[in-house]
Amino acid sequence: MSDPFTPVPAAEERDLERLLDGAIGAFAISVEPEWHREAMAYLRNIADAAAFVMAYDVGDECDPAPVYRP
């Protein structure tokens, strides 16, 4: 039997900002201000799509099968 389902909360704007700023800093990318706004919009869309997919409880019947390794 599966555990009680708890939906994933939507990503906060400040968390997405920190994620984007951290990635920009980690890769030492110079970003124009308009690019930053556009990248934030794409990141928001991806986070919203992920929350939509994760909101559906597929239950135990959709768990992946174990992998056989001899």
The per-residue pLDDT for range 16-55, each reduced to its tens digit, is 999 999 999 999 999 898 999 999 999 999 999 988 888 8
Dist. CA 18–CA 38, nearest whole Å:
15
The answer to whether residue 43 is domain-embedded is yes
The answer to whether residue 8 is domain-embedded is no
What's the domain count of the chain? 1
Give 9's contacts (C-beta < 8 A, 6+ positions apart). Answer: 51
pLDDT at 47: 93
For 33, the domain range is 13-56
pLDDT at 1: 45
pLDDT at 54: 82
The answer to whether residue 50 is domain-embedded is yes
31, 24 contact by CB (below 8 A):
yes
Enter the pTM of the model: 0.67
The per-residue pLDDT for range 46-63, each reduced to its tens digit, is 999 988 888 877 777 777
Q: Is the pLDDT of residue 3 over 90?
A: no
Radius of gyration, CA atoms only, the chain: 18
The answer to whether residue 70 is domain-embedded is no
